[in-house]
Amino acid sequence: MNHKKDHTEGIWIGQSRLIDTDLKPVGKFVESEGESYYLISNFRSMPDFFISIVSDSDHWMFISSNGALTAGRKNRNNALFPYYTDDKIHDYRDKTGSKSYFLVEKENKFFLWEPFTDEFGKFYSITSNLYKSIFGNKIIFEEINHDLGLSFRYSWNNSEKFGFVKKSQLTNTGENPIKVKLLDGLLNILPAGVDFGFQNELSNLLDAYKKNELVDGTTLGLFSLSSIPVDKAEPSESLKTTTVWSTGLQEKCKILLSEKQIAKFTSGGPIEQEHDVRASRGTYFIHSE
């Protein structure tokens, strides 16, 4: 009996053929927007690695090449994002730090794109670049989607006046206009008054005390505790707050203070602005279309 084995090319999911993402990383010095950087092209082909961002003040930031991070002021008891060891920070990809979602209208279809997510690199032709300032005080993540004709980059640096500054930029690299709906923001923001020990040992209890609020008429988000958790039968007010605000997309933008509507957005559903969210991890997303 003869057995014939059919040969098929590539790996498919449904009607989509997965793209080979085995690209060789290349490093070099470059100039961008008048500043000098060391650039690693195709950095996502490398194992995750750890990066420190320096400051001329009391800011500190440690960030994974996959985008997850910890950051704060003075010491680990004043963290704006949870302070963990580097292995745990790598594991917190898509759970802590920057996150972006785009719905791109093209050819009478809406294409979903989540930059810096491995799964989407298998469906789109993508180039990923990582820039670090030669002074060590700024880092830029860039992803170019050749299929959609879009480039997205975001940067982290610090400021004595404004604290930590994240700048996001979406660029149309094609010749035709494109309509885009977006969610761009931050995940797992810590409220003020949380020390290292409490976050690491009682993080689930801590979530129950979290309070996320939006100041009416502004983009200012307040992340605080409803009260300070104590073992004694006495009042313990929380009078400090972590603040996050945005500029650049004020017209018709909406602010989200939780992850509850992300699935609705990625499915093409309508988004409602959130004003007061309790017992939920600190989240700040700006929605625009």
pLDDT tier at 3, thresholds 50, 70, 90 = very low
The three-state secondary structure class of 88 is helix
Tell me, what amino acid is at 42?
A: N
Q: Is the pLDDT of residue 19 over 80?
A: no
Query: Alpha carbon 87 to chain centroid distance?
Result: 18
Read off the tokens for 239: 């009078």
d(CA 203, CA 195): 11
pLDDT tier at 39, thresholds 50, 70, 90 = very high
pLDDT tier at 231, thresholds 50, 70, 90 = low
Read off the tokens for 64: 């994974």
Read off the tokens for 169: 């930029």
pLDDT tens, residue by residue, 185-212: 999 999 998 989 988 888 888 999 999 9
- What single string gives the DSSP state of each residue in 20-87? P-----EEEEEEETTEEEEEEETGGGSPP-EEEE--SSSEEEEEETTS-EEEEESSGGGEEE----HH
Exposure of 147 by Cβ count < 10 A (0-12 exposed, 13-18 middle, 19+ buried)? Answer: middle
d(CA 59, CA 241): 17
Determine the pLDDT at residue 278: 96
**157 closest CA partner among 27, 59, 49:** 59
Exposure of 73 by Cβ count < 10 A (0-12 exposed, 13-18 middle, 19+ buried)? Answer: middle
pLDDT, averaged across the chain: 91
